[in-house]
Amino acid sequence: MKAIILEKYEEAPELKYVSDRKVPELKENEVLIANQFGSINPSDLMFIRGLYGIKKKLPVVPGFEGSGIVEKVGSAVKTLKAGDRVSVVSGQGDGTWGEMMVTDETSCIPLIDSVTLEQGASLFVNPMTAWAMFEKARKEGHKALIQTAGASALGKMIIRLGKENNFPIISIVRREDQVKQLHDIGGENVLNSSDPRFDRELLVLSKKLSATICLDAVAGDVAGKILMLMPAESKLVSYGALSEQSIPVNAGVMIFQKKVIEGFWLTNWIQEIGLKEFHKEAKKVQEKLGTTFHSEIQKTFSVEEGEKAIEFYKKNMSNGKVLIAFK
Ligand SMILES: NC(=O)c1ccc[n+]([C@@H]2O[C@H](COP(=O)([O-])OP(=O)(O)OC[C@H]3O[C@@H](n4cnc5c(N)ncnc54)[C@H](OP(=O)(O)O)[C@@H]3O)[C@@H](O)[C@H]2O)c1
């Protein structure tokens, strides 16, 4: 099959296009997928450099997320059949940047009729994560939330969820053009962390709105600073590390102000709620995939142009998703 191959984890990894990769073998509890679109996400960029929480045996076809058509199911698979259209993630082995892959049942979301395969390629990871974290923040009784990387695809979903549910969102970005971008989609409280007035503005606004939770995708100095500026008894939920730095925290904010840091990973959340509940939540999200959970697709490349696709995405992350197509 045609695929993009990673042979070595390194800072600037070489990704090779091949046309003779062996189609992976199916086990009884697995599903063989004919991939239609592979997405490129920040987690893939970390993975190919060996910096992600998961490492796979090399050589491997990267790509954690995509969409495809079920080609064949193992004898123990209960919820899927050949021909089903699915949004997929790859846990083990070859991923979505190749023509075929095997994965397990929990890593497939059957698509409803109104969702196209192109849309389905960006359903699993960002929309489900945005929905899970937003709902968790509301259920925990927070009155407003702060988010970093506000101009990311996921950040824009959080802004739309906030508007629809009358729940104030403070979005933090790092460039002035991103402030405008978020105002244009209806973002109300957008702060630029590079602006000299940032600290004061965040301190005042988070107190005024009682924003006691921050969904943080950046880590590093900015995350440590945000936790310091938030009201007492606030929580920072770390779900990404785009800065690739650790979070420096002053012990005093935890000891005297009862502030905490916790992590969020979609895979853990799915295990916590179970497959049945997850499919129920996924259905709600799919119904709003064209609106609330919309991901802009800025460009689609063929698998032969895979390396170009990754370079393009790296330089244009705030402008929408980049897909690899197999048909
Ligand atoms: N934990 C989980 O389960 C989970 C699930 C889904 C997503 N995530 C995480 O969610 C985050 C957003 O994903 P996405 O697909 O929505 O991203 P995306 O659309 O590809 O956009 C990435 C955004 O991050 C910004 N960014 C990159 N490096 C940055 C830095 N050092 N400081 C501040 N901003 C930076 C980019 O802004 P510029 O244009 O300025 O570069 C861009 O707006 C990622 O960290 C991803 O790993 C985690």
Q: Is 217 in the pocket of ligand 1 (CB under 6 A)?
A: yes
Measured distance CA(111)–CA(128) in Å, rounded: 14
Task: Give me ligand 1 centre to Cα 327, in Å.
Answer: 28
266-273 and 126-139 are packed helices; what angle lies between their axes, rounded to 10 degrees? Answer: 60
* Distant-in-sequence, close-in-space partners of 100: CB < 8 Å, separation ≥ 6: 1, 23, 24, 32, 33, 34, 35, 71, 94
Task: Give me ligand 1 centre to Cα 52, in Å.
Answer: 14
Task: Give me ligand 1 centre to Cα 151, in Å.
Answer: 8
Local structure of 201: helix, strand or coil: helix
Mean pLDDT of the chain: 96
| Nearest residue (CA) to ligand 1, atom 22 | 152
* Distant-in-sequence, close-in-space partners of 66: CB < 8 Å, separation ≥ 6: 35, 36, 37, 38, 39, 87, 88, 90, 95, 96, 97, 121, 324
Atom from ligand 1 closest to the CA of residue 43: 47
Task: Give me ligand 1 centre to Cα 93, in Å.
Answer: 24
Local structure of 175: helix, strand or coil: coil
Average pLDDT over residues 74-86: 96
CB-based contact 26:102 (threshold 8 Å): yes
Measured distance CA(45)–CA(259) in Å, rounded: 31
pLDDT tens-place string over residues 28-63: 999 999 999 999 999 999 999 999 999 999 999 999
pLDDT tens-place string over residues 231-264: 999 999 999 999 999 999 999 999 999 999 999 9
Atom from ligand 1 closest to the CA of residue 193: 33
| Nearest residue (CA) to ligand 1, atom 28 | 242
- Name the residue of 41, 171, 314, 316 whose CB sits within 8 Å of the most ligand 1 atoms, as the mutation to test its pocket: 41
Cα-to-chain-centroid distance, residue 275? 19
Strands 85-89 and 108-110: antiparallel
Q: Which helix (H) or strand (E) holds 283?
A: helix 275-287
Task: Give me ligand 1 centre to Cα 204, in Å.
Answer: 26
pTM, two decimals, is 0.96
Confidence at residue 114, expressed as pLDDT on a 0 to 100 scale: 95
Give, in order, the Cα–Cα distances in Å from 261 to each of 70, 247, 295, 323.
40, 10, 28, 33
Strands 30-39 and 65-73: antiparallel
Average pLDDT over residues 157-161: 98
- Name the residue of 87, 154, 244 whose CB sits within 8 Å of the most ligand 1 atoms, as the mutation to test its pocket: 154
**Every domain of the chain and the residues it spans:** 3-122+295-325, 130-265
Measured distance CA(213)–CA(275) in Å, rounded: 27
Task: Give me ligand 1 centre to Cα 168, in Å.
Answer: 21
* Distant-in-sequence, close-in-space partners of 16: CB < 8 Å, separation ≥ 6: 4, 5, 7
CB-based contact 174:194 (threshold 8 Å): yes
pLDDT tens-place string over residues 189-227: 999 999 999 999 999 999 999 999 999 999 999 999 999
- What CATH number does the domain located at 130-265 have? 3.40.50.720
- What CATH number does the domain located at 3-122+295-325 have? 3.90.180.10
Above 90 in pLDDT, residue 327? no
Confidence at residue 91, expressed as pLDDT on a 0 to 100 scale: 87
Please report, rounded to a whole number, the percentage of residues in the chain having pLDDT higher than 90.
97
Local structure of 263: helix, strand or coil: strand
Q: Is 175 in the pocket of ligand 1 (CB under 6 A)?
A: yes
Q: What type of residue is 282?
A: A
Q: Is 129 in the pocket of ligand 1 (CB under 6 A)?
A: yes
